[in-house]
Amino acid sequence: MARISTLVDQLLTQVGDLWFLALIGSFFVMICEAAKPKPADGERQAAPQGLALLAMIMSLLTPLLLFLHAFATGSGALIAIMAAIGTVIIGSAIIGGLIKTVSPQVGRTLSSAAPVLAAPVFALTVYVTWASVADLANFVVGMFVR
């Protein structure tokens, strides 16, 4: 079995530098979202609306698009893809939770920055992944249409 570092090198060679940049951007956006502290006493937390809801949807779709692109490029390093994206998701949740616990005020600031950061990261992700994700979708649809 190949070493994980070899698989990661193979993955990065196949998906490209912009994919890795989008993955890092997604990591920071997820940290900002995870750092949102609980409402203070007497403070009411409304459901996300407008730009906040759109940013939440974009940040949920970003790792999925990154996964589909890495899978569609045929890198053959499925374990490296899962490890990279899983590490980003779990790591950002842990770091965001620590920020929320240690410094709620910093967490509020980061949380308010999440929608602003989510839009360019999602745009970069769509730019990087659109061709391979469209090819994969056409292949799947073609299997069922015949």
**Using one digit for the tens of pLDDT, what is the confidence trace for 19-37?**
889 999 999 999 998 988 8
Residue among 116, 118, 93, 119 at smallest CA distance from 36: 93
Give the predicted TM-score (pTM) of the model: 0.81
DSSP 146: -
Residue among 6, 55, 48, 64 at smallest CA distance from 29: 55
H-type alpha helices, 73-103: 78-102
Residue among 51, 30, 47, 24 at smallest CA distance from 111: 30
**What is the secondary structure of 9-46 as a DSSP string?**
HHHHHHH-HHHHHHHHHHHHHHHHHHTPPPPPTT--PP
Confidence of residue 91 (pLDDT cuts 50, 70, 90): very high
> How far apart, in whole angstroms, are the C-alpha atoms of residue 29 and residue 113?
8
